[in-house]
Structure 1
Amino acid sequence: MATTLSIKQRIQSIDILRGIIMLVMALDHVRDFLHDAGAFGDPTNLKTTTPILFFTRFVTHFCAPIFVFLSGVSVYLVSTRRTKSELTGFLIKRGLWLILVEIVLMSLAFSLNPLYNSVALQVIWAIGVSMILLALLSWLPIRVIGAIGILLIVGHDALTTLKIAPNTSEDVLMKIFFTARGSVFALDNSHFVFDLYAILPWTGVMFLGYLFGTLYKSDYKAESRKRFLMLSSLSLFAAFIVLRSINGYGDPAPWAVQKDGVFTFMSFINISKYPPSLMYCCLTLSVGLLILALTENASGKLAAFFKTYGSVPFFYYILHFYLIRLVTVAVFFIKGFKTSEIITPNDPFLFTPPGLGFNLGVVYLFWLGIILTLYYPCRWFSNYKKTHRQWWLSYL
């Protein structure tokens, strides 16, 4: 994915964690396009979902916040090899590049519409803008940047209660920066922007990652780092349990007792990703920090497998989306759909007519096929990056 900055000596626990969540992330994207409920079904709606469908979606909740957090860690690692002015310039260029990638490459991958009637602003957009904001604040002490990040994570939920007149400039700005959850902005009668990722809550996660990057300084002892990561993980998890139990501040969707214990548990962990609530960040980042601690000295074939994907995130991220959409087009024609059905009314995605998808078991098979198909291309590019130092590699 787009969160890694070129690191000469890679840190294996970071690559392992990133690799794990990249593979899990692909499951959600395969489900979006190839499940019979499609991208417009809500697998977290307790009135209509099933436990297996709910948890298929829930496990992918961990991907975006951990990616954004690790992008902040990577920025810190890059900062140790650059002057402040060099870092500022790099982050601004990198951020603008990611915004361009989101609008041009990723919007096309989602819609397959070369006319760009719809543009989707998602995680790459949020990371790009957050990098630019970090560039502007990079002259501040690291702890101050970390404190700003914590303030954004903890405080942004308070803004969800503000009453702002709809369709005003204030409403648009509030959605873009704080509250977007699938907000639609019309550019004209036939062109729309779908904003799924409110900028500043995700910026807070990146800033926190930037602070945690200091744990990977060369003079920081591994045992001390592992102990701090474990303690931080347990603290965040405890905060989630306490906040969620009292149904108070920290998530706009309270939990409630359901028809049985399984659905009650699902309600309890059914936290809000858009925008990422305080409880959402506490739970997801606690798991990420735990994996970082446990994989500090990991070895073996499984660790190497995850590292292969985690070492080339941007390369993998672009390829896996286009591969999924290529499979979608192939399934479209194999199932006998006509060219007149390429466009579905009120659907921004091409080649996604009703009846295209499969049951969840088949979706899992497609997912395994997608990630295994990309293993050798990712391994090749990982080896290429290790043996080459062209300037453009720091942008991939």
Structure 2
Amino acid sequence: MKRIYSIDVTRGLVMVIMALDHTRDLLHVDSVAHSPTDLNTTTPILFFTRWITYLCAPIFVFLAGTSAYLSLRRKNDIAQSRDFLLKRGAWLIVLEFTVVNLGLFFDPGFHLVLFEVIATIGFGFIILSMLLKISPIMLATIGLIIISSHELFTAIPFAQGSLASKILSPLFTLTPLPLFPGHLMLVAYPPIPWLGIMLTGFGAGRLFELSEERRKSLFLRIGLVSLVLFAVIRLINKYGDPVPWSFQKSPAYTFLSIMNISKYPPSLLFTLVTLGIMFLILGTAEGQKNKITDIACVYGKVPLFYFILHFYVIHTLLLIILFAQGFHWADMSFTTGTFGRPKGAECGVPLWAVYLIWLGVVAVLYKPCIWFGKYKAKYNSWWIRYL
């Protein structure tokens, strides 16, 4: 089965958007001191800069599940697909804990290790490899049940510090896990809620076997229904997100409160709005081919290559900026999770500069992604299949 253009376009678009979040996170002058979603300190443009990047992880995870389904259909061999998913899942977890974390923090001592999107995809692939004999419809049903109900886990009255709490909490909620003195793992992407998104994406892979015209119509309808459900459930304000919205100092900030949904872990409302937008993008991309979609497709064909490379580019830029602002190597802190930014010092760039640097990073990575996409298509080495 050949590559599906709309998937590559959609994935490429969110990969480009993702770089904006990481550019802001590492370079923005207020990124360490203030959360961009804290309504007491944020501005609408800063809130939007963070919120738009919420699209990235759920779409990335959903389409990873879809790609696993399409790969299974192409191979038509459950044993071979199981072996590939198991190995790739393990490989992704290793990459997260080594190459990705090093690129994020530039800390070879790995004092803080994040379990984030790459590791949670790896975990999902490993679990999915064990479930391939279950029908895609059933897996999608399981995924939807997880998405809609995992929030109830926090209502279970586990005794604090109990064995059940220690085992299950990292699977469902954001959890810090002390490793040994001076070293901490933060499970920022609890794997069970994200597994629900992947399983749903796997089941949705069947939709890509429809004709392009039928896909376009169906995706647009699914997207609109998801957004309507989001609006209804959010306005009821009783379930779907652990943080209810409230009236604020102005209508604009009240709207921000409504849109201030939870990613860690991804709430039902978070998933509805982000995947609803994803389906609208997929539907719009079906049958479209122009310069913009072709550019997005370049990044979408090599998402992991781009993902790893962009961290190292952005972090190198951070060091250049810190040196330019008069800081010295001895001033920089790499073991505290602040990416090397000197503790307590005002450093970084304003938001308008974040946008300019983001566009520059995306542009710089365009040619390498073209090169790797061609290399990947030409050669079939075993290691390329895992990127």
- Fold agreement, TM-score > 0.5: yes
Q: CA deviation at 1:24?
A: 0.6
Partner of 1:366: 357
Q: CA deviation at 1:111?
A: 1.5
Q: Deviations over 1:176-195 (max 9, x none)?
A: 11111xx2211122111011
Evaluate the alpha carbon distance shift between residue 126 and residue 39 of structure 1 in structure 2; reply closer, same or farther with a 3 A threshold: farther
Tell me if 1:351 matches 2:333: no
**One-letter amino acid matched to 2:324:** I
Q: Deviations over 1:122-174 (max 9, x none)?
A: 00111000111111111111111111101100110111222323333322323
Q: CA deviation at 1:331?
A: 1.4
Q: Following the alignment from structure 1 to structure 2, what is the Cα–Cα distance between the partners of residues 40 and 288? A: 31
Q: CA deviation at 1:349?
A: 3.6
Partner of 2:315: 325
Out of 283, 286, 289, the position equivalent to 1:293 is 283
Q: CA deviation at 1:386?
A: 2.1
Q: Following the alignment from structure 1 to structure 2, what is the Cα–Cα distance between the partners of residues 101 and 203? A: 19
Q: Deviations over 1:38-74 (max 9, x none)?
A: 2452110111111110000010011100000000110
Out of 31, 37, 41, the position equivalent to 1:44 is 37
**One-letter amino acid matched to 1:32:** D
**One-letter amino acid matched to 1:290:** L
Out of 189, 205, 229, the position equivalent to 2:181 is 189
Q: Following the alignment from structure 2 to structure 1, what is the Cα–Cα distance between the partners of residues 85 and 339? A: 34
Out of 379, 383, 390, the position equivalent to 2:374 is 383
**One-letter amino acid matched to 2:155:** T
- 3-state SS of 2:39 partner: coil
Q: Deviations over 1:54-96 (max 9, x none)?
A: 0000100111000000001100110012211111111100000
Partner of 1:63: 56
Q: Following the alignment from structure 1 to structure 2, what is the Cα–Cα distance between the partners of residues 54 and 377? A: 31
Q: Deviations over 1:283-323 (max 9, x none)?
A: 00000011101111111111111111111101100000111
Q: CA deviation at 1:350?
A: 4.4
Q: Following the alignment from structure 1 to structure 2, what is the Cα–Cα distance between the partners of residues 119 and 104? A: 9
Aligned residues: 384
**One-letter amino acid matched to 2:384:** L
**One-letter amino acid matched to 1:163:** P
Evaluate the alpha carbon distance shift between residue 165 and residue 287 of structure 1 in structure 2; reply closer, same or farther with a 3 A threshold: same
Tell me if 1:255 matches 2:245: yes
* 8 A contact 1:149–1:204 mirrored in 2: yes
* 8 A contact 1:31–1:39 mirrored in 2: no
Out of 324, 328, 339, the position equivalent to 1:338 is 328
Q: Following the alignment from structure 2 to structure 1, what is the Cα–Cα distance between the partners of residues 94 and 64? A: 18
Q: Following the alignment from structure 2 to structure 1, what is the Cα–Cα distance between the partners of residues 331 and 337? A: 13
Q: Deviations over 1:318-348 (max 9, x none)?
A: 000111111111112222212221227x822
* 8 A contact 1:109–1:321 mirrored in 2: yes
Out of 96, 104, 121, the position equivalent to 1:102 is 96
**One-letter amino acid matched to 2:61:** V
**One-letter amino acid matched to 2:238:** G
- 3-state SS of 2:189 partner: coil
- 3-state SS of 1:187 partner: strand
**One-letter amino acid matched to 1:30:** T
Q: Following the alignment from structure 2 to structure 1, what is the Cα–Cα distance between the partners of residues 355 and 42? A: 17
* 8 A contact 1:72–1:207 mirrored in 2: yes
Partner of 1:164: 158
**One-letter amino acid matched to 1:327:** L
Partner of 1:200: 192
* 8 A contact 2:226–2:272 mirrored in 1: yes
Q: How does the TM-score come out when normalised to structure 1?
A: 0.94
Tell me if 1:224 matches 2:214: yes
Q: CA deviation at 1:196?
A: 0.4
Q: Deviations over 1:93-113 (max 9, x none)?
A: 000000000001111112111
- 3-state SS of 1:154 partner: helix
Q: Following the alignment from structure 1 to structure 2, what is the Cα–Cα distance between the partners of residues 275 and 26? A: 21
**One-letter amino acid matched to 1:384:** Y
* 8 A contact 2:111–2:336 mirrored in 1: no
Structure 1 regions of 5+ residues with no counterpart?
1-7
Q: Deviations over 1:195-232 (max 9, x none)?
A: 10011110000001111111122xx2222222221221
State the identity as a percent: 40
Q: Which stretch has the larger CA shift, 284-293 or 327-336?
A: 327-336
Q: Following the alignment from structure 2 to structure 1, what is the Cα–Cα distance between the partners of residues 339 and 205? A: 41
Correspondence 1:227-306 to 2 at 5 A: 227-306=217-296
For the aligned residue pairs, the C-alpha RMSD in angstroms reads: 1.3
Q: Following the alignment from structure 2 to structure 1, what is the Cα–Cα distance between the partners of residues 3 and 74? A: 14
Structure 2 regions of 5+ residues with no counterpart?
none
**One-letter amino acid matched to 2:110:** Y
**One-letter amino acid matched to 2:41:** T
Partner of 2:202: 210
Q: Following the alignment from structure 1 to structure 2, what is the Cα–Cα distance between the partners of residues 36 and 163? A: 41
Q: Following the alignment from structure 2 to structure 1, what is the Cα–Cα distance between the partners of residues 94 and 160? A: 28
Out of 116, 125, 132, the position equivalent to 2:126 is 132
Evaluate the alpha carbon distance shift between residue 166 and residue 107 of structure 1 in structure 2; reply closer, same or farther with a 3 A threshold: farther
Q: Following the alignment from structure 2 to structure 1, what is the Cα–Cα distance between the partners of residues 27 and 161? A: 34
Partner of 1:312: 302
